[in-house]
A and B are shown apart, each in its own frame.
Chain A
């Protein structure tokens, strides 16, 4: 914190280099004396700024955080146990409720893993629809994140502004699959339904309109001195820390590492569209904000490209009747399709024996699914490697040496949703 010496109307200081920031952080840690008594503060699980039911018990030396004991599991519900009693198709809606802010991305991660296990192709049109869905999720997730994050610094109005524009994305989802939040739109081998009439035009209009709104946000936020003072140089988390704690997604890219699974191991249609990986180099809260801002612009760009290039064809794989659902329209007309639908619903798909791990880039980071199959239609073991679990785990390292008043902002900046971490 800059302290009291600067007048509120004075121009902000030039941004510190990462070396200066690390030095500052090291100095702030030195202030902690061994013999002093710590104040212990418990934040959460019912706390307005913990973004869910996360609890952090923080030891303070004055205002400096010395030690953090995070406590998660307040939303644990045994998803992995339920996976062992449900068939592959039936488990899909449960993945919605992992990261409920970007449900479709979770569906997608799970479907990709099962497809890798079954070794089935996804039709090109379905891959494009999935790409669009993923990016819509990224938009709605980042908009929600931005509103809440800026609200953590005291700007209540900004939250309302972000929600105003998030509703446009919600409208698109509603038109696409009927649900606003829990989409369950992906299916193994494709998606649940084709794009409805008029959706492409509506989506294009929204995506052409969204960058203008994003620019408006940037004007509001990036010229706000309070926001800058509370984010620039705060919460440094270096590349080595990120790798050691498996912190992924925007927090990793804010350290200058160009790692985005959409580029490094392209899935869906990401190898057919042109986009840049958002990278920042300062590794602080402000860099994470900038990365997410850039990602939103890129999302709009990707969606527009996908809409332009959208190929014709099936929206779900029809070559593997023992593993995928038929097209819904056929079920009522064709007896073979009806039997297929019945068998898939009640018996589940045919799955080879083996185990796979597949990760995709969801808005919060790298979401992986590890499936061990024993050859039956129910997974022997399904492990969900969720980004937030590791982000929560890294909080002691993130908070150490920071001010207690910055904890809220730093915690918000790594983007956390507890349904994701607790499973």
Chain B
């Protein structure tokens, strides 16, 4: 990792140094691509790391840019991943935290830190079936309440499970 760290800006280098110093071996890894810094964090450490990132006396990444999931079916051990992108409004630096997850493993919610995480987590749950512990209202957001399946999983067919032209069962709805 050390060779690629040279590619990032000085501000991000100091972020890198601070995070490495504070959490050290608890971070699962880091990577740099196109000047973007990414840290791999275990789910049990996430809230602590995110709180440190958000705090003004910590790193000052005060805005949540997005939170989303990803599915790698080829990874047998930990097929799911949640990516959290943070932005510092003062310096416009960006930092990404990624959390690898096992099938069915729960993740702590970030909606108490950033209200904006609320819908992002609902969407991630809806699309990947990743549960967020402590989320106030984990229900479907974009699809219908009785929709079955998690559409963005790689094994979900693009055309859905129902088929036909209407692609849903309208019984009881009209």
A and B touch in the complex (CB under 8 A): yes
Is there an interface contact between A380 and B70, defined as CB atoms closer than 8 Å?
A: yes
CB-CB under 8 A from A244, the residues of chain B are 63, 114-116
- In the complex the two chains form, is B34's CB within 8 Å of A119's CB? yes
In the bound complex, do residue B94 and residue A357 qualify as a contact, i.e. CB atoms below 8 Å apart?
Answer: yes
Query: Smallest CB–CB gap between A265 and chain B, Å?
Result: 6
Beta-carbon contact of A243 and B62 below 8 Å: yes
Q: Does A80 contact B (CB under 8 A)?
A: yes
Contact A116 B65 (CB under 8 A): no
- A356 B33 Cβ-Cβ under 8 A: yes
B142 partner, pick from A82, A245, A394, A423, beta carbons under 8 A = A423
Q: Assess whether B68 is in contact with A76, with CB atoms less than 8 Å apart.
A: no
Kindly identify which residue among A81, A246, A422 contacts B65, using a CB–CB cutoff of 8 Å: A246
Q: In the complex, A422→B119 CA distance in Å? A: 12
B64 within 8 A of A: yes
Chain B residues closer than 8 Å to A368, beta-carbon distance = 65-66, 85
Q: How far is the CA of A199 from the CA of B115 in the complex (A)?
A: 46
Say yes or no: A259 contacts B142, CB within 8 Å.
no
**Smallest CB separation, B132 vs chain A (Å):** 15
Complex CA–CA separation, A76 to B126 (angstroms): 13
Which of B60-116 touch A at CB < 8 Å? 62-66, 68, 70-72, 83, 85, 89, 92, 94, 96, 114-116
Q: Report A-chain residues with C-beta under 8 Å of the C-beta of B140.
A: 73
Evaluate contact between A72 and B36: CB separation under 8 angstroms. no
A229 interface residue (CB < 8 Å to B): no
Q: Which residues of A contact B72 (CB under 8 A)?
A: 380
In the complex, whether A370 has a CB less than 8 A from a CB of chain B is: yes
Q: Which A252-290 residues sit within 8 Å CB-CB of chain B?
A: 257, 259, 264-265
Name the residue among B94, B115, B156 with the largest chain A CB count within 10 angstroms. B115
Bound-state CA distance A80–B83 (Å) is 15
Select which of B70, B92, B116, B119 is within 8 A of A264 by beta carbon: B92
Does any Cβ of B come within 8 Å of A383's Cβ?
yes
1/0 contact string of A56-87 vs chain B (CB within 8 Å): 00000000000000001100101011101100
A271 smallest CB distance to B (angstroms)? 15
* Contacting residue for A78 out of B36, B71, B92, B151, CB 8 A: B151
**Given that A245-B115, A357-B65 are known contacts, is A73 also in contact with B143, CB under 8 Å in the complex?**
yes
Q: How many A residues, CB 8 Å from partner?
A: 39
> B75 → chain A, closest Cβ, in Å?
12
Report the minimal beta-carbon distance from B54 to chain A, rounded to whole angstroms: 10
Residues in A with CB closer than 8 Å to B116 are 244-246, 390, 393-394
Q: Give the residues in chain B near A81, CB-CB below 8 Å.
A: 151-152, 156, 158
B38 A73 Cβ-Cβ under 8 A: no
Q: With A and B bound together, what is the CA distance between A234 and B165 in angstroms?
A: 45
Contact B115 A370 (CB under 8 A): no
Interface string of A192-208 (1 = CB under 8 A from B): 00000000000000000
Q: Across the interface, which residues of B come within 8 angstroms of A80, CB to CB?
A: 127, 152
B36 and A370 contacting across the interface, CB-CB below 8 Å: no
Q: Is the CB of B143 within 8 A of A76?
A: yes
B73 CB to closest chain A CB (Å) equals 11
What's the Cα separation between A244 and B66 when bound, in Å?
A: 12
Contact A370 B85 (CB under 8 A): yes
Tell me if B142 and A243 are in contact (CB < 8 A).
no
- Kindly state whether residue B118 has any CB partner on chain A within 8 Å: yes
Q: When the two chains form their complex, are residues B83 and A82 in contact, meaning their CB atoms are under 8 A apart?
A: no
Complex contact B151–A265 (CB within 8 A): no
In the assembly, what is the distance between CA of A385 and CA of B70, in Å? 14
Are B89 and A243 in contact, with the CB atoms below 8 A?
yes
> Any chain B CB within 8 A of the CB of A372?
yes
Cβ–Cβ < 8 Å partners of A72 in chain B: 141-142
Nearest CB in chain B: distance from A284 CB, A: 21
Please determine whether A357 and B85 come into contact, CB atoms closer than 8 angstroms: yes
On chain A, the residues within 8 Å of B143 by CB distance are 73, 76
B51 to chain A, nearest CB (A): 15
- Interface membership of A355, Cβ < 8 A: yes
Say if the beta carbon of A117 comes within 8 Å of chain B: yes
CB atoms of A370 and B66 under 8 A apart: yes
Encode A18-43 as 1/0 by CB contact (under 8 A) with B.
00000000000000000000000000
Instruction: State A84–B71 Cα separation when bound (angstroms).
Output: 11
Q: Do A357 and B36 contact each other (CB < 8 Å), given the known contacts A244-B115, A259-B89, A397-B115?
A: yes
Interface string of B131-169 (1 = CB under 8 A from A): 000000000111110000001101010100000000000
**Residues of A91-139 whose CB lies within 8 A of B:** 116-117, 119
Quote the shortest CB–CB distance from B166 to chain A (angstroms): 14
For the complex, is A354 an interface residue (Cβ under 8 Å from B)? yes
For A355, what are the chain B residues with a Cβ–Cβ distance below 8 Å?
A: 33, 36, 38, 83
> Is A185 in contact with chain B by the CB < 8 A criterion?
no
In contact, B142 and A370 (Cβ under 8 angstroms): no
Can you name 12 A-B pairs with beta carbons within 8 Å? A81-B151, A84-B154, A246-B64, A354-B33, A355-B83, A356-B33, A356-B34, A357-B66, A370-B68, A370-B85, A381-B71, A422-B142
Beyond A244-B115, A244-B116, list 12 extra A-B contacts (CB 8 Å). A73-B144, A117-B34, A244-B114, A245-B115, A246-B63, A355-B36, A372-B70, A380-B70, A380-B72, A383-B83, A422-B142, A423-B142
Please report A residues at the B interface, Cβ cutoff 8 Å.
Answer: 72-73, 76, 78, 80-82, 84-85, 116-117, 119, 243-246, 257, 259, 264-265, 354-357, 359, 368, 370, 372, 380-381, 383, 385, 389-390, 393-394, 397, 422-423
The 3 tightest CB contacts between A and B, nearest first, are A73-B142, A76-B142, A354-B33
